[in-house]
Amino acid sequence: MKPQRAIYGLSWVMLCGCISFPNYPPNWAPLESARPDCVSIGGVYHNAGGGSRFGGPHLAPRVFFETKDRALFEGTDRVAIAVTSNGKLEVTAFSQDRPLRIKQYFADKDEYRCDNGKIRMAHFTSLFGLARESVILSKSTDGALVVEDGAVGALFLLIPVAGFEWLRFEPYASGKPKPEPQPIDDFVNCVAGGERRWTDRSKCD
């Protein structure tokens, strides 16, 4: 786990009086109805998200619990999540079309749990004390991935902390710019019909 994320995760609960359990943001699309499996959570999402009061959150470090090397995620622009019916959860961090890291979790090994359509993951960290960090993944009706990012423990082994914050990561396809055509052979960028665009050379004004 990245130290920076642990600092954020424990500091925001302290700033809120050590206990923080906010309601679901009313301006977000509602969560999907509960279902018996977590297959619907699968998808490709932007690595950069929103909702945090401590800067832009990133999805990759929240689903790669065991990874401490920040360099592994440099350039990550999206994260793919796949859930199979036999209980395997696979997450992949991408930089454009190049996979940077792949991690698999298995429900039968208690590495994650599917509960009413939500993926629940947790682990312990000893940075600045002892805490159990948890991540709950669900999906909103507009296709975004919603994350409950929480921590329960004792800061410096003295100050009890507990709480979570809501984070949101948009589907990657919704914000992915259309690739600009590349000029090959007679496919050129010129003025055609009064506007500049990529088209066949024969259609240029």
Looking at residue 81, its pLDDT comes to 95
What does residue 68 show for φ and ψ, rounded to 5 degrees?
Answer: -110, -15
Q: Where are the alpha helices (DSSP H) in 76-129?
A: none
What is the separation of C-alpha 169 from the centre of its chain, rounded to a whole number of angstroms? 5
Looking at residue 180, its pLDDT comes to 37
Q: Which residue has the tokens 């279902």?
A: 35
pLDDT tens digit at each of 205 positions of the chain: 444 454 444 444 444 446 666 788 888 999 998 888 899 899 999 998 888 766 778 899 888 876 556 667 788 999 999 998 788 999 999 988 888 889 999 998 888 999 888 999 877 665 555 666 788 999 999 999 999 886 665 555 566 666 678 999 999 974 444 343 333 345 555 677 666 665 666 777 7
What's the Cα-to-Cα distance from 42 to each of 88, 105, 141, 144, 146, rounded to whole Å? 11, 14, 14, 11, 12
Looking at residue 178, its pLDDT comes to 39
Strands 159-169 and 19-20: parallel
Amino acid at 186: D
Q: Which residue has the tokens 């991935």?
A: 145
Taking the chain, what is the end-to-end CA distance rounded to the nearest angstrom? 58
